[in-house]
Amino acid sequence: MIINILAGGPEDHLPDLYQYTETDAIWVGVDRGVYHLLKKNIKPEIAFGDFDSVSQNELSFIESQVAELKRYQPIKDETDTELALNWALEQKPKTIRLFGATGGRIDHLFANVQLLFNPLKSGQDADILLIDRYNEIFLKAPGMYKIKKQAKKKYISFVPLTLDITDLTLTGFKYPLKNRHISLGSTLCISNELVSDCGTFSFSEGILIVIRSHD
């Protein structure tokens, strides 16, 4: 099962959502993201938010279209996006895609990137991808992983989320590495590229942010 979540970030940062409408995909709307989905004739199965970013007319439209609406007070401990993501994780999907979570306010961006850490903390194996028009972002715990070349997102960057990344090894890349120690704040692994159709990356300690991008 795949769960697609559309948060309320700027529309001009969104990719083409229609390419993610597989038959086994469930759509979830968050705050103004619900309205964006409905405008595209994509009906979410459930919606979350305090809906302080929509007009009364837009809210009425949302209420008439969405069967399950989880509405919250603006003052709460979790963001609307976190509430939606927590629900998604409870469904135990294979993949969660998070759209509309970049652009606009930078505090929202940092918060949403950190939300990708939640399944790692709880030991869940769901892949969470933060996707916008130019980037695909995900986190990885220690291990070895395969990564395939994508023509549309040729740049691959590896950014430490924790203080240290130990034994980082990259194979099949334009700039390979072997057992390198990377500290928080390093830009050593920015804008690498695959030279093979498939490469690998591995490390033994830390949490790594992986970013696939295009200009």
pLDDT of 78 above 80: yes
Q: How far is CA 47 from the centre of its chain?
A: 18
Judge whether residue 70 has pLDDT over 90.
Answer: yes
| Dihedral angle sign, alpha carbons of residues 103, 106, 110, 111 | negative
The chain-wide mean pLDDT, for the chain, equals 94
More confident call, 75 vs 93: 93
* Alpha carbon distances (Å) from 11 to 18, 116, 152: 14, 21, 20
Considering only CA atoms, give the Rg of the chain. 18
* H or E stretch covering 156: strand 155-160
DSSP summary character for residue 173: B
Name the β-bridge partners of 193. 155
Percentage of residues in the chain having pLDDT higher than 90 = 86
Q: Check whether 40 has a pLDDT greater than 90.
A: yes
pLDDT, tens only, 177-190: 999 999 999 999 99
Q: Decide the pairing of beta strands 95-99 and 2-6.
A: parallel
- pTM recorded for the entire structure: 0.93
Q: What is the pLDDT of residues 89-140, one digit of tens each?
A: 999 999 999 999 998 889 989 999 999 988 887 777 789 999 999 999 999 9
Domains of the chain: 2-133 (3.40.50.10240), 140-213 (3.40.50.10240)
Residue 103 pLDDT: 87
Are residues 48 and 72 in contact, defined by beta-carbon separation less than 8 angstroms? yes
Q: What pLDDT score was predicted for residue 119?
A: 83
